[in-house]
Amino acid sequence: MTKKTMPPKPSEPANPDRLSIGVREGDDFNLRAAEVLSGPFATNAIALNKFSIGATGMVDLDKLVEAMTTSANRVKNGDLQDVESMLVSQATVLNGLFADLVRRSAVNYSGGYFEGGERYLKMAYKAQNQCRMTLETLSIIKNPPVIYAKQANIAHGPQQVNNGQASATRTGEKERTTNELLEASCEHPMDSGAAGKTGVGNPAVAAVDQVNRTKKR
């Protein structure tokens, strides 16, 4: 008696709109999926795929994540070629948007629709400003600004500032300066010795006693 074997079922075709999540044996699939979705590539790849579906059709999400990872690794290693090319491309698109909005504004103005022409012109100015900012960012990346840091000249060893002592020193200097000026204005230097005792210097001109006074004023 022979046993019939069933032919293998055809494998399910891969869905390009679904991201593949690699899980090792024993790992939690939900945790691994959360780590991938919270990472820097998965959500951006999904958004890029949705926005570009009209131009390129559905692109494999795994390939998008792989391309983003490769570009990010180049930037991490110091190669900014992708970043510079992206900024140049964006500035080119913004410049084209500016030109188209100016054309639409001119058409509205010439047709008598001044309000519409003014709106298109304001949008054109916004596109022009965004283009300028994009090129400015590119210029900063190509030529980073040089930062000059001022260095303080600090002497070696600890320093102590005594406000009271500094004030006393300044006061002493002021007193010495005043004494020097006074001494310079006199022929003889000022006597800075100790003060003498008080007493009668000339007894002949002493005060008149009461007996020597006149009776009548």
pTM for this structure? 0.54
Q: Residue 59 CB: number of other CB atoms within 10 A?
A: 16
- Report the pLDDT value the prediction gives residue 8, as an integer from 0 to 100: 47
CB 91 within 8 A of CB 131: yes
pLDDT, position 6: 47
Q: Cα(186)–Cα(189) distance, rounded to whole angstroms? A: 7
Q: HSE (CB half, 13 Å, CA atoms) of 39?
A: 16
- What is the per-residue pLDDT for 157? 57
Look at residue 20 in the predicted model and tell me its pLDDT. Answer: 81
Q: What is the per-residue pLDDT for 3?
A: 42
Contact (CB, 8 A) for 34 and 58: no
178-207 residues labelled b (16+ CB within 10 A) or e (exposed):
eeeeeeeeeeeeeeeeeeeeeeeeeeeeee
Domain boundaries, the chain: 22-78, 80-145
pLDDT by 10-residue block (mean), the chain, 217 residues = 46 65 83 87 88 81 90 92 94 97 96 94 97 95 81 61 53 55 54 57 56 58
- Of the candidates 102, 103, 106, the one whose C-alpha atom is nearest the C-alpha of residue 125 is 102
